[in-house]
Amino acid sequence: MSGANRVLRGRRPAQPSLLYAIKQVELVVRAHLDELLKPSGVTALQYTALTVLQRRDGQSSSAELARNSFVTPQAMADLVSGLERRGLIRRDRDPNNRRRLLLSLTDAGGAVLADNEPAVRALEEQMVADLDLAEREAFGHYLNRCRAALAVEPPH
């Protein structure tokens, strides 16, 4: 047996990196979200954009929404156009900067969020079901700290 094989014998397999685990959680959440949102005709990414707009209604441009949703401005422009065509959002001129368009949720967009909230909450509950209240709070806190640490523009 080679030296390298002897070193590996008896050791537990390496755990996946945190980045890998986070990506796996994101992928499974997105798959579940896409499935439960299918009847309303929106994707997980569109739903996320609607939730961001709900929190910042009438205060975000398409570029700002792209940054907050971690997608390219071009991808967001396509997403915004689709949501606007469906009547889920509207664009209004910023009264302080006529060249800037601000995005707002329409009543129909709010209804999509309201209609899907119970299923989305159930999915979140399923995800953290094995965590007690203190662990859930800590988990949310840690995720927000990690997000804040990476909130700067990525290196090019």
DSSP annotation of 88 reads S
pLDDT, tens digit (0-9, with 9 covering 90-100), for 4-30: 555 556 666 778 899 999 999 999 999
Burial (CB count within 10 angstroms: exposed 0-12, middle 13-18, buried 19+), residue 7: exposed
pLDDT at 126: 97
CA distance 103 to 88: 10
Per-residue HEC secondary structure of 99-133 comes to: EEEEEEECHHHHHHHHHHHHHHHHHHHHHCCCCCH
pLDDT at 2: 52
